[in-house]
Structures are given as structure tokens and as C-alpha cells.
Structure 1
């Protein structure tokens, strides 16, 4: 039976998710692209046609003003690739229309709104399903499970999740280039971060706990940013001493952000920081995604043991189109989640701690874009 999927937000991630679903489901999916901008829909359709390398029929939907009250889509699944500020509105539409729903946002306030909204839903609402939050949380859960199996009798001391969506090249003053939504970057730098410290779930300011990390001989910096830990601080509280998510950057970038924040002073806001960054930082399409996860524990004598997984994702060519690393990584996780929801096994909120771990990480789409970790 053909599944009807609507992707709201026809930008880079939305169109990449459409391509991946078409590659996997073929004629078993009826795909619609919805956006407030008709040109964006048209561009996304052309992009998918070129990347898919064969003719495909896509329905295009221009979203009306105030879609939360004025849009009544029909289908099995609504995939939300809109900015995080619209996530609660999109979830309310899916709830009203009795559709499954999945989003990508690291926006913690929007996520908490959706929790309350869909508590009694009969369809599934998968939240924070991209790369980070998303895939990295499943990897953290897998490694914690593997550590306990490989080291019986040990206690898990820490779970560290690190992800960097980076340009392949960077220069001063920002030591960074935008390879994904600049609004998301400034938002994650200013919103609060949920972590576990001394077995308790606590909230800490973003960019307040910097560290150095060396991956294959190359030095990076990592610091707290909002949203990337998903609901794992709640899931693992009282079970591990420390758990956190940090964003990886090239050395010098966080110092640059600190300087921008000092200059803005009382005028600091997401929009003001974004304006400052855009003045100095270019957009790049030559990117790379770094993934690093470490689980550390101790035996009964107090000796420390650690297991680590590290991976990198690069752009890939599909037809005449290059799909960037961040498009691949984010859209693949969302598409694999879509397959979970289409089984109709889930209702209410599906958070990262509730995902079927083996099924997700061993899924065809995840293995194709991330490689096998099981």
C-alpha cells in the first residue's frame, strides 16, 4: 500500500529526506513538499529529480498564512523540517489530522510544548530525530549497553556525545563556515543545555564547559550547546555520574563567539548574534560531519576504562547533485525514523530513550549513510 508522506520545509534537509525516502521506498511512497515559499518547492522538486536521476511525481503545497489553523493536510506522516520555532504548530496540525509526526529541532522549549500537546495522541510523535539530537543519542545508548555487557561489575561513570558539522576549510576571525541553518547555530549557542552532573539532571549555560579533544591527531574544541542530549539526561539520571552533549569546532571559534557576546553585552540575542556571525562567517558547501562518543566506567578498584567510537561523513554525489554531509546525516536519521512510524507501532511521544535501538541503528538507511555500528 502506497504511503502518503508530507515534508514541511523544502530546504536543504527536507529535500534530502525526500530523496532518501524515494530511493528506499520507490513507488511505495506518495511524496508531497510543503513550504511557505512556492519557489522553494519548485527548486526542491528540480533538485530531487536531478539527484534521483529519474522522473518522479511530487505534489507541491504552498502553505497558507497561519498553517496551524488554516492547513489540513491528509496523509500518514508529516515530517517537520521547518525552523524549530514552528515545531509546536506543525505538531498540532499532525495531531488534528491524525497523522504521525517527526521533527528535527534541538529547540528545547518547543520540544517541551509538544510533550504536553500530544500526551494522549493515538499516532506517534518522534521528536529531535536528526543527527544531534537524534543519531548521536542512539549511539550513546548503544555504547552504554555495550560497556555494561563487556565490563560486568563496572559502574558507568560518564557518557560523552560530541558532534561537529564543520566546513572542510576555515579561517579567521571566526574559524568556521556555515554549513547548515545559521539560525540554528546562534540558537544552540544561547539556549540552556541539559546535562547530568553527579547523577542529577541539571541545566547549564551553553558554551560554559569547554574542552580540548584530539581525533586522529587533529585538535578540536568542544563545548556545551542546547538540545543535543535529547531526553537522555532524564533517562540516565541517578544511573551515571556524568552525561553531556557538546558541539565540536575548530580551535579559535568559541573564543570568537565569546568576543561577539561581550561586544553585544545587554543587546545579546539570537538575532543579534546571528547578525554578527553573518558579517564575518561565509556559507560553504564543502563540509564534513564529525561524530565522537565515549563511555567511561570504573571497576571495583576504581580503575578507569573507556570505549570510544568515532566516525566522519562527507558529501556524496547523487545523479548530477552533490548532497552535503550535513544533509546526508540529518535527513538519513529522519528518514529511518519515518520508517519506524509507518509501522504504526507507536503512539504519543517517541523520544530518543524509547527508540528500538537495534532496529534503528541497523536500519538500511542508517547503515548506508552512517555505516554499521552493530
Structure 2
């Protein structure tokens, strides 16, 4: 049984711990600085906890001694510290961060490490990159790679068509920061909340628009190979117009603290959510135009004895699958491993990756 440390006692950390614990192959310890958060941890009885001030040099290293891997479900501000501790302790490292600067530093740490370092193992960035790259490899030449993800309420109850399904700080950030893309073969920064388009998945109508942070390292992997590459967030129709009014016309992008207060006050959390995923790739194959499309809609469901949201399930499934592939020897055991290096079919066949599979155990919209 492999010893795993999960840093972060929030909802995602709890879901990861339960998912791994339920498999019977991993002994999990959840680490957090907060004794209150650890006491409130919603997991099975076999999951252990340890209070640790992760930011303190040497503290996490002691917890990691003799362990197989550390999985970070902590705020991005702790990413580098956790990666440094993993390198010092000689354990494998995986995280969920969307932060580009942190990931660059993780890559530098990985260059001198004797274990594997695999950042951005969540949904977007994460699984979306695995799906996009696996489709792109089927083409002789690439024209467009379009990646879209949405975390939404199953039953919208306001004009925004939105409810809090994950970090409100993350939502505000992705609506305000410049977005990476490839435009006409060149790396570019494009504006958030722009390039609105209509999308239909499983017969449901949505809209999609530019947001930051979802591409991970895919632009670098496909630069020089594709003409256009972009990432857009999926929402119910009308959402982008309202957010542009709030953030642009009323200048709340310069008062993100106020925007965050409004979100927290006005939007209630929901446990009945869904994650919508769409990847579309166009190009040529055997000299002829070709197109591939991958789509999934995953609903909230159960992990072990507990109800979990769709965003919890998809995020935890992503990092748990990559860990499982690493443990089985299906991934490199040393150095930096990008999401684009992971095969989609192998991922979907994994016991944890089945949450994303068309015939997986998690309920899907018909």
C-alpha cells in the first residue's frame, strides 16, 4: 500500500482522499495548517490527518519522509513550497494549480529531481489538455483546437444562470486576466469575456467565451503545429453580458474584492451541479479535411458513502488517475511530466478516470 499525503483539507482535498482511500491501494494522510479544517474533514475513518504549517521550511518535509507522493490541493501560493518539499524529501509531486508562474517554477524544480513532478492535474488545466492533445495527434495537419469547459448548476435559479460550484476567487480571476491563445500560428494574449459563441451539448444550449488559466502548457506543446488554439468557459446564455456589465462597465475588475463580496452574497452554493466538456479539433488527415469532437457532461454523484459535486468528482478524478498511472509505471518516474504526455484512452480506462468515460459510473446527462 502506497503512502500518500494530500495537502489541503478543503472539499477537493477531502474528495481526493476518499477516492484514493476507497480503492484500498493507498493510505492517505491529509495535511492542513488549520486544526478546525482537519476536524471538519468529510472523509472515511481510515484517512489520517496531520496539522502542519506548510509554509514553514522543513515542516512538510518531515511529514513526507518515506511517502510515495504528495498531492497539492492547497492554494496556488503554496505550490512552490510544496514542490520544494517534495524534491527535498524525494517523493513524487502532483498539483491542481492553474497558476502559470508557479508551474514554471515546478518545471525548474523537476529538472534536478529524482522523482516525477506533474502539475495541473485537475479539470482545466488538466483533463482538457489530455483530451485535446490525444485528438490532435490523430491529424496530419492542424487548423484549429478549441477547448471548452463549464462548471454549472443543473438547475439555474437566477439571471446569471450560475451558482458557486468552486472558488469564487478563481471565477473572478479567470474573468479578468488576459487569456493565452494561438492566433494565426503565433502565441497571443486575448481579452477575457470576448469571442462569444453558441454551443450545444446533449441538446442543451450554452454560450462560451474567453477566460484565462485553462490551457496549461498546451500552447507551448502545439505552437508551430496549429493555426488557432483557444480555451473558453461554458455558461448558460446571457451570463457573459451581465459579467461584462459588472466587471467592465462598472469597473469592478479594478475592485475585485467588491466583486468577490457580491458573488459570495448573491450566489448560493449548490451540490447539484454538472461539468460540461467540449473539445473540437479540425485539420487534415490523408490529405482530406477532418474534424474530431469529444464531449462529456458529468453530474454530481457518490464517491464511496458520500455525495460529491461534479466539480469535486472531476477534479479529484483527474489527479487520482494521474497518480494511479504513475504508481503503475505508465508514466515517467522522474522529471517533469506534462498533461499533454498522458494518453486519453489509458486515462479513461483507469478506475478513477472512468468518471470521465462515456460508460463511466458517474451519472451523465442523456
- Fold-level similarity (TM above 0.5): yes
Instruction: Please identify which structure carries the higher helix content.
Output: 1
| Change in 2 beyond 3 A, CA 1:86/1:206 | farther
Deviation at 1:297, TM superposition (A): 2.1
Q: Does 1:123 find its partner at 2:118?
A: no
Deviation at 1:267, TM superposition (A): 6.3
C-alpha separation in 2, matches of 1:227 and 1:68:
29
SS of 1:241's equivalent in the other structure is: strand
C-alpha separation in 1, matches of 2:356 and 2:344:
17
C-alpha separation in 2, matches of 1:226 and 1:296:
23
| Change in 2 beyond 3 A, CA 1:207/1:69 | farther
Q: Does 1:296 find its partner at 2:275?
A: no
- Among 232, 241, 246, which residue is 1:260 paired with? 246
Deviation at 1:243, TM superposition (A): 1.2
Give the unaligned 5+ runs of structure 2.
361-366
Match of 1:133 in 2: 125
Match of 2:364 in 1: none
Give the unaligned 5+ runs of structure 1.
50-55, 149-153
Match of 2:75 in 1: 83
Q: Does 1:161 find its partner at 2:147?
A: yes
Deviations 1:291-314 (A, max 9, x none): 11111125799x854221211111
Match of 2:21 in 1: 22
- Among 308, 322, 325, which residue is 2:310 paired with? 325
C-alpha separation in 2, matches of 1:171 and 1:202:
36
Deviations 1:221-259 (A, max 9, x none): 111222211111111111111111111011121112111
Aligned residue runs from structure 1 range 41-60, under 5 A: 41-44=38-41, 47-49=42-44, 56-60=45-49
C-alpha separation in 1, matches of 2:187 and 2:27:
42
Match of 1:32 in 2: 29
| Change in 2 beyond 3 A, CA 1:112/1:61 | same
Deviation at 1:341, TM superposition (A): 2.9
The worse-fitting range, judged by mean Cα deviation, of 11-20 and 204-213 is 204-213
| Change in 2 beyond 3 A, CA 1:299/1:354 | closer
Q: Is the 8 A contact 2:252 2:258 kept in 1?
A: no
Q: In angstroms, what is the RMSD of aligned CA positions?
A: 2.3
Give every structure 1 segment of 4 or more consecutive aligned residues whose post-TM-superposition deviation is greater than 4 Å.
Answer: 298-301
Equivalent pairs, count: 355
| Change in 2 beyond 3 A, CA 1:61/1:236 | same
Q: Does 1:114 find its partner at 2:106?
A: yes
TM-score normalised over the length of structure 2 = 0.89
Q: Is the 8 A contact 1:6 1:77 kept in 2?
A: yes
Deviation at 1:61, TM superposition (A): 1.0
